[in-house]
Structure 1
Amino acid sequence: MQSNDQADASRERHARQQLLDLGADELDRRPWQPGPVPPSAVDLIQFFLWKGHDKEAALAALQLLSAARAEIDQLETGLLFAARGLGLTWVQMAQAQGLNSPQASQQRLDRLLARTDQPSGRPSDQLPGQLGRVRRDES
């Protein structure tokens, strides 16, 4: 008997394959992706929305929503790290994100990190802190 994780992974693989078989395997590779990388869950959902297809394809796309959310969380986390690395302040980042305060931007990153699996196995609150916390002059 499969565990829930195994069953979820199997359903996701099947959903990906369904959409690839419908033509998503012919999507152009993104220039920032090393080849051969299959289309992301976000790409596959966009492919379904573009081509439409049928109810089975709709179900396959719906099954990929969780994976797509995880991909977007990873992108947002990377973008926040990159922005801080380029010297943007939490104030600037919060304004760009449409948030009300620098603390809200920082809390958003904290929530993203808490949801993201850490390769080191350490909880996200024990990650090395190079991002810096909000200072009074940034708020």
Structure 2
Amino acid sequence: MSWSIRSPSLSSLNRDVTIRSHGHLIILREDAYIMADVQCVTCGQAGETITDPLFMGKLESEIKAKVCKPCWKKWEGMRVMVINEYQVNLGEESGRDLVKKQMKAFLKLGEQTDTGKLDQNYRPPA
């Protein structure tokens, strides 16, 4: 879907703006964004969409479509704990796979794994 608008709030662009809808994120030309909420599978609530690049390859689009920004921030704190608790060597593919498996379980993206050791030690970032 695509349409053009002229908006007073976008007057600094001093031209028509073309908007294209790609799923939950509406992208404006000139790299300006209008945020749409995402229905988060992790917390079950509507939340702010992740806009930062995640560098996750094919998995990035699924994460951005299904996980809200606050839950992603919680995962970033948990990721450090996963690496430390399991003494993960990120230089090895098996270490990266372990972190990815824990991430999918934490974010409830379909993969189940034992997170008991992590859950009991988790402290939210201050």
User: Taking structure 2 as the reference length, what is the TM-score of the superposition?
Assistant: 0.28
Would you tell me which structure has more strand in proportion to its own residues?
A: 2
Which structure would you say has the larger RCO, counting Cα contacts within 8 Å and 6 or more residues apart?
1
Would you tell me which structure has more helix in proportion to its own residues?
A: 1
